[in-house]
Amino acid sequence: MNNYDAIVIGAGHNGLTNAAFLAKAGLRVLVVERNAYIGGATVSRELHEGWQYSSCSYVCSLFRPEIYNALDLGRHGLKIIPLVSSMTFKQDGDYFGSYSQPNIRRRELMRHSLRDADAVVRFDADVLRWCKLIRGFLLRTPPDPGSFRPRDLFEFAYLLKKYYELSESQLYEFIRFFTMSIAEYLENYFENDTVLAHYSGGSIIGTGLGVYSPGTAYVLLHHAMGDVDGNIGSWGFARGGMGAVADALASSFQAHGGEIRTDADVRRIMVAGNKATGVELASGEIITAKTVVSNLDAKRTFLQIMDEADLPPQLVHRAKHFKIRGSSGKLNIALDGMPEFPALPHGSPLTLGHMHFTDTLHRLEKAYDDWKDDRWSADPYCDALVPSQYDPSLAPPGKHMMSVFVQYCPVNPEGGWTDAKREQFGQTVIDQIADYSPNFKDLLLHVEVRTPREIEEETGLTEGNIFQGELTFDQLLFNRPFPGYAQYRGPVKGMYMCGSSTHPGGGVMGAPGANAAREILRDLRRPDTTPQEFSDD
Amino acid sequence: MSIPNDHFRQAIQHTPFHARLAALTQTEEWTVWNGCMAPRVLDKLSTEYFAVRSSCSVMDMSPMEKYRITGADAYRFLDRLLTRDLSALRPGRVTYVVWCNDEGKLIDDGTLFQFGDGDYRLCSQHHQFDWLMTSAMGFDVNIEVETHDVAALAVQGPTSYSVLTEAGIAGLEDLRPFGIANLSCQDFPVVVSRTGYTGDLGYEVWVSPENALPLWDAIFSVKSRYDVHAIGLSTLEMVRIEAGFIMPGFDFNTAESTVRANFDRSPYEVGLGWVVNLDKGQFTGRKALVAESKRPAKRRLTKITIEGNKPVGEAFIYNKKGGKLVGEIKCAVWSPILKANIALADIEYIGGALPKKLWARLDYQRELKWMSAWAECRPTNKPFYSPDHRSATPPSRL
């Protein structure tokens, strides 16, 4: 039978999360996935024999523990192991490490600046305060501030109440935090160049913004507000690679009776009488359902798989102007052994965590300048990790897998992308790492280079934007993806959005998928299977 | 201080006295104090406790944060930073101080040593370099972290004067409470202050790190005649509560580390209104403290005695049995010398006044079984224990 209660388009982590909660409520749910495999950008792939690449997203911290718990993902095989460190190599041969062991962390800061070692206490408390505030909204549907429905009024009052739980000076600081650049925000705390560069890097990952662009301070939160078992701001590796997240979600979904069809490319969402009626696949096959949920980004959803004639023209206009800029690249590397980093003393634990190679704010801003001119950064910001040091399932014995996230990489370099240009981009990254690791180039067995073009081709993310839309204030909360459409409902009855284009945005969080499920179940008058947020108080 | 780039190999540092402590410990019960290994208990808590109260205790206090503040504007800077009137402080004297942020919330407390004109040492519980540097803008002042450049022993107890004198430190007889003396022990210089955190007769002996072990050995060389006993932080916690001393970061949250609104505390709220002088002129936090001083009191950290002998840990306080929740115990101890449960409790005032009755709900274990009991609490303003011999000059030779 080709009829379901609900069809979810796209087997990314949010699509699967959404589908799992719908199935848990007793609906007959089908997930359709264009690729031959599930996961979207939350995927592990064997692109070189013997190596498992987390080929898109590569670390995990934002995934909501409430969802993990409600969908029983631990019993479905998911393990997230906390990362212990991050570090930045300096051009002068030294390095700065951020260790999780508090005494070592403090002494390392003292080694670079006595003052910064003290200031980090204030920095941690302030960032934790904003994280706590934002985390309270992750698993809630944003209120429509123009609506007078009791539920919207209640949610808006909740938002204001949380906000006014801050003290007067904290209120001011919060507004500043939301609107400042990360560089200027950090300069309120730190003086050392390397410390500043190290802590600001996370705020440009995935964004078409530079360290001095207003709004980037907030992005810090998107990388700091996750937690692994109560360690707020810490990152984790999913055992088996990021595909383990999708696999556990799929397993939970299937345990609730859900079905997944891969190699099923949706050509369009069918609409009749302003109601969604199902989907038509590229093969011409039609599958019907009264509820159709899109995990695709807002641009792709409304401009590619819906007939514009079915949509309000203002919505089409909004979708066309949705800010979703590609700015990131990725290298997945099979290594013949562990690279040496002579700057690190023998036995340093810092190769176990994030490794960066940009030691000043100036270099970070220059990297952004290149991107604005449609060039990849000649001196890019890289986030390199070798997770095979933790997880032997990712590479053969004695060999290693390295994942390098690269900021910035343009969507459309002059003359467009060619395979040759892509390899040149990859070489820029390899050269930068080799500056700090003399044997790095000798260890390369296979290098897969992804520009926004490749990321979009594989995952469908418009321009390869990892967040499904920029995380700027104009596209957050009740404005995400567009004003009037922040409550996961599309413009036609029975059509919903559940991807990172919706509140609370990108990162492997699962929250948009869960929030959308809550709204769908509400419309269908089904019991709510989605979890309430855990409280920090 | 130079830190090697492979410091990660040793997460926890050793103080200059570590070799002696490591040789003495029978429990291996260590904790971390400001990045340094510090003993909780070396042999037996009750023995260590009574060393403070009846003979002579020695505690390694080297990890204490220490800042040297010098320069033409040192006094003006400190007067602006600290809530207390410093005009009576003289070279060779020490005073207890606290400091606040602009909102009048406590950042930390500590002791201020004046060595000479424009030459001070500030000791604090928490890391203060960033705040001191921020506060120093506009002042001709030099601030140096000397935490690891100065080793220190707290020598405390009724026989501490005799022990130090016998150990070869001459000239303590005239040293009054809160005085500083430049003396020598055998052949090396020591700075001795008549200060402490125990509420008993006692001294703090400051020495350069290379003379740390000779100082230790000199003091312990009189052990055959005096009961000189090394103590750990668990004993300190007992005696400082008896003396009524508070500990920032434990009894209240310090302003810079506070996440939640109104979880920080003003000096008034922790019972330190006596170190705030609103009439001395401008100081950081004054405006907020003036405003607070005119409002009815919201809460006070209050010394209470809890009736009975049930173990007191963390507990809520009510205005009557089963009544309204009015507070919580921040630290508590069974005082062996008073044979009483004593505690510091954060109490919310009702109508600007301490609730008339205070009852603690105590949860405690007996042979792993949880039990619960009500106990009435009596507030007090005085230190729980403050013996006369604490302040006698010259101290009696015991």
Query: Looking at the complex, does the CB of residue B325 fall below 8 Å from at least one CB of chain A?
Result: no
Q: Min CA distance, A105 vs chain B (Å)? A: 9
Query: Looking at the complex, does the CB of residue B137 fall below 8 Å from at least one CB of chain A?
Result: no
Give the per-residue pLDDT at A229.
62
Please report residues of A whose CB lies closer than 8 A to that of B68: none
Please report residues of A whose CB lies closer than 8 A to that of B3: 107, 110-111
Query: Looking at the complex, does the CB of residue A119 fall below 8 Å from at least one CB of chain B?
Result: yes
By the 8 A CB rule, do A275 and A492 touch?
A: yes
Whether A125 and B127 lie within 8 Å, measured CB to CB = no
Instruction: Domain ranges for chain B, please list them.
Output: 7-62+150-231, 296-382
Give the per-residue pLDDT at A287.
98
Query: Looking at the complex, does the CB of residue A136 fall below 8 Å from at least one CB of chain B?
Result: no
A118: nearest CB among B11, B35, B129? B129
Query: Looking at the complex, does the CB of residue B181 fall below 8 Å from at least one CB of chain A?
Result: no
pLDDT tens for chain A, 537 residues long, are 589 999 999 999 999 999 999 999 999 999 999 999 999 999 999 999 999 999 899 888 788 999 999 999 999 999 998 888 999 999 999 999 999 899 999 999 999 999 999 999 999 999 888 888 888 889 999 998 888 888 888 888 888 888 888 888 888 888 899 889 999 999 999 999 999 999 999 899 999 999 999 999 988 887 777 665 656 667 888 999 999 999 999 999 999 999 999 999 999 999 999 999 999 999 999 999 999 999 999 999 999 999 999 999 999 999 999 999 999 999 999 999 999 999 999 999 999 999 999 999 999 999 999 999 999 999 999 999 999 998 999 999 999 999 999 999 999 999 999 999 999 999 999 999 999 999 999 999 999 999 999 999 999 999 999 999 999 989 999 999 999 999 999 999 999 999 999 999 988 999 999 999 999 999 999 999 999 998 877
**CB < 8 Å from B in window 157-176 of A:** 165-167, 169-170
pLDDT digits (tens, 9 = 90+) for A294-322: 999 999 999 999 999 999 999 999 999 99
B256: nearest CB among A122, A128, A132? A122
Q: Min CA distance, A493 vs chain B (Å)? A: 42
B256: nearest CB among A104, A110, A125? A125
Q: What is the 3-state secondary structure (H, E, C) of chain B?
A: CCCCCCHHHCCCECCCCHHHHHHHCCCCEEEEECCEEEEEECCCHHHHHHHHHHCEEEEECCCCEEEEEECCCHHHHHHHHECCCCCCCCCCEEEEEEEECCCCCEEEEEEEEEEECCEEEEEECCCCHHHHHHHCCCCCCEEEECCCCCEEEEEECCCHHHHHHHCCECCCCCCCCCEEEEEEECCEEEEEECCCCCCCCEEEEEECHHHHHHHHHHHHCCCCCCCEEECCHHHHHHHHHHCCCCCECCCEECHHHCCCCCCECCCHHHCCHHHCCCCCCCCCCHHHHHHHHHCCCCEEEEEEEECCCCCCCCCEEECCCCCCEEEEEEEEEEECCCCEEEEEEEEECECCECCCCEEEEEEEEECCEEEEEEEEEEEECCCCCCCHHHCCCCCCCC
Please report residues of A whose CB lies closer than 8 A to that of B128: 118
Please report residues of B whose CB lies closer than 8 A to that of A177: none
Distances (CA, A) of A437 to A92, A110, A339, A342, A443: 14, 26, 6, 7, 10
A119: nearest CB among B11, B130, B258? B130
Give the per-residue pLDDT at A155.
87
- Residue of chain B minimizing CA distance to A106: B35
B259: nearest CB among A114, A119, A128? A128
- Residue of chain A minimizing CA distance to B256: A122
Contacts of B224 (CB under 8 A, 6+ apart): none
What six digits make up the tokens of A8? Answer: 């979810």
A103: nearest CB among B11, B126, B129? B11
In order of start, what are the domains of chain A with their CATH numbers? 3-80+240-322+467-523 (3.50.50.60)
A118: nearest CB among B5, B11, B128? B128
> Parallel, antiparallel, or unpaired for β B369-380 and B299-306?
antiparallel
Please report residues of B whose CB lies closer than 8 A to that of A99: 8
Please report residues of A whose CB lies closer than 8 A to that of B261: 165-167, 170
In this prediction the ipTM stands at: 0.95
By the 8 A CB rule, do B362 and B315 touch?
A: yes
Q: Min CA distance, B11 vs chain A (Å)? A: 5
Distance CA A251, CA A255 (A): 6
Distance CA A411, CA A375 (A): 9
* CATH number of the structural domain B296-382: 2.40.30.110
Please report residues of A whose CB lies closer than 8 A to that of B133: 115
- Residue of chain A minimizing CA distance to B126: A118
Name the CA dihedral angle for B97, B102, B108, B109, rounded to a multiple of 10 degrees: 10
- Residue of chain A minimizing CA distance to B264: A167
Query: Looking at the complex, does the CB of residue B9 fall below 8 Å from at least one CB of chain A?
Result: yes
Give the per-residue pLDDT at B369.
97
Give the per-residue pLDDT at A1.
55
Work out the angle at residue A375's Cα, subtended by the Cα atoms of residues A369 and A378, and round it to the nearest 5 degrees: 75
Query: Looking at the complex, does the CB of residue B34 fall below 8 Å from at least one CB of chain A?
Result: no
Query: Looking at the complex, does the CB of residue B288 fall below 8 Å from at least one CB of chain A?
Result: no
Give the per-residue pLDDT at A236.
85
Buried (b) or exposed (e) across A326-335, using 16+ Cβ within 10 A?
bbbbbbbbbb
Query: Looking at the complex, does the CB of residue A348 fall below 8 Å from at least one CB of chain B?
Result: yes
Query: Looking at the complex, does the CB of residue A151 fall below 8 Å from at least one CB of chain B?
Result: no
Whether B7 and A107 lie within 8 Å, measured CB to CB = yes
pLDDT tens for chain B, 398 residues long, are 689 999 999 999 999 999 999 999 999 999 999 999 999 999 999 999 999 999 999 999 999 999 999 999 999 999 999 999 999 999 999 999 999 999 999 999 999 999 999 999 999 999 999 999 999 999 999 999 999 999 999 999 999 999 999 999 999 999 999 999 999 999 999 999 999 999 999 999 999 999 999 999 999 999 989 999 999 999 999 999 999 999 999 999 999 999 999 999 999 999 999 999 999 999 999 999 999 999 999 999 999 999 999 999 889 999 999 999 999 999 999 999 999 999 999 999 999 999 999 999 999 999 999 999 999 999 999 999 999 999 999 998 87
Please report residues of B whose CB lies closer than 8 A to that of A104: 7-8, 11
> Parallel, antiparallel, or unpaired for β A444-450 and A400-407?
unpaired
**Positive or negative: CA dihedral B66, B72, B75, B79:** negative
Given CATH 3.30.565.10, say whether it is the number of domain B7-62+150-231.
Answer: no
Query: Looking at the complex, does the CB of residue A95 fall below 8 Å from at least one CB of chain B?
Result: yes
Q: Min CA distance, B67 vs chain A (Å)? A: 12
